[in-house]
Structure 1
Amino acid sequence: MTTIDYISETERFSDGIRELLVAADDEFVPRLSAREGTTQREGLADASSADTEDVGDAIESYHSQCLDQHLIACHDRGDIRGFMSFREGYRTSELEGYQPSNYISTVIVSPDYRRRGFARKMYKRILSDLPPGIECPYVTTRTWSTNHSHLSLLEELGFENVTNLPDDRGDGIDTVYYAIER
């Protein structure tokens, strides 16, 4: 049975998270292996055009940053099926008026487990069931304007588009920030 849990010991799922990051690398814009980290704000368009030959090595910095964040895991008997990493107390000018927030930096569900509601369940967990002391007044995230399935989920859950950065990730690909009050 697959469960959704807040995980305080992120190292427990380290290998599985790395595998999901590598498997989903080219689904992100820009690729995760071309980024400087989970909250990179400058140079996303340049990273979109970067060619990464060795994804495994290039993704290590991103992987380490995920492990340093809070984690909600979708797992089945210890095997990770998806995860959401987030920062507590996040602040950035793009989210003015929606801070401090629990900022979701990464959401990935294994391709074999998609369309089963796991991403929705992880979002519901961060919105309503975090351990005391790490809840912030807002939950925020960002994505790219052509990530239609993610955008649809955010809107269904009541998130509001609060900032658009036109062509931030390349021609015709905006960075979009979303927020919701807890």
Structure 2
Amino acid sequence: MTTVEYVADPRPYADEIRRLLAAAEAEFVPPLSARQGTTQTDGLDEQRNDALDEYFEQCIDQSFVLARDGEDVYGFLSFRPGYAIDELGAYTPSDYVSTIIVDPAHRREGHARRLYHELLTDVPEDVREPYVTTRTWDSNDRHLDLLEDLGFELLTRIEDDRGQGIDTVYYGVDVEGFER
């Protein structure tokens, strides 16, 4: 049976988290192995090929919601409480979702929706912020469809931020107004 829950210490699941990062890293724009970290805002259109370990080290120090069956992790959402940058406008402080990945073998089973739902409704008070925010690229259709279905609003668009014709888009939702 799959459980979705906030996990205060993700380190016991580090191998599974690393496995999922490696499995999905090339699906991100830019790939996770080309990034300096989970909240990098400059140089997203510059290519590197050695940074997946750096990304993992920043990711594992964040807060997590896991979808798992025993020790097997089917998906995770990592987030930073108290996050505030100009691109989020009034949606600060927020629980900023830096990474969400569902194992390719378990996609289209509702795990991503359940991960977001857990963050929006049931994380401990000490990590709960008034807003949940995230960013992605403008052609990440499945993620954008999910965000819009959950009531997230487009906050900022940065044209060509990830390369020619690839915009970065920031989304946010007011936790108080989230329909459970």
Which of the five TM-score ranges fits, normalised by the shorter chain?
over 0.9
Distance 1:45 1:179 in 2: 23
Structure 1 residues 125-140: aligned runs within 5 Å: 125-140=118-133
Counterpart position of 2:135:
142
Instruction: Find out whether 1:151 has 2:144 as its counterpart.
Output: yes
Across the aligned residues of Structure 1 and Structure 2, the Cα RMSD in angstroms comes to 0.8
Paired-residue identity, %: 52
**TM-superposition CA deviations, 1:61-115 (whole Å, max 9, x none):** 1111111000000111111111000000001010121000000000000000000
Distance 1:66 1:73 in 2: 13
Unaligned runs of 5+ in 1: none
Counterpart position of 1:20:
20
TM-score under structure 1 length normalisation = 0.94
**Counterpart pick for 2:90 among 87, 97, 107:** 97
Distance 1:85 1:118 in 2: 14
Count of matched residue positions in the alignment of Structure 1 and Structure 2:
175
**Amino acid in the other structure paired with 2:43:** G
Distance 2:123 2:25 in 1: 28
Give the Å deviation of 1:46.
Answer: 1.4
TM-score under structure 2 length normalisation = 0.95
Report the secondary structure of 1:176's partner residue: strand
Distance 1:70 1:32 in 2: 18
Distance 1:132 1:179 in 2: 19
Counterpart position of 1:86:
79
Counterpart position of 1:6:
6
**Amino acid in the other structure paired with 2:112:** A
Unaligned runs of 5+ in 2: 176-180
Give the Å deviation of 1:58.
Answer: 3.0
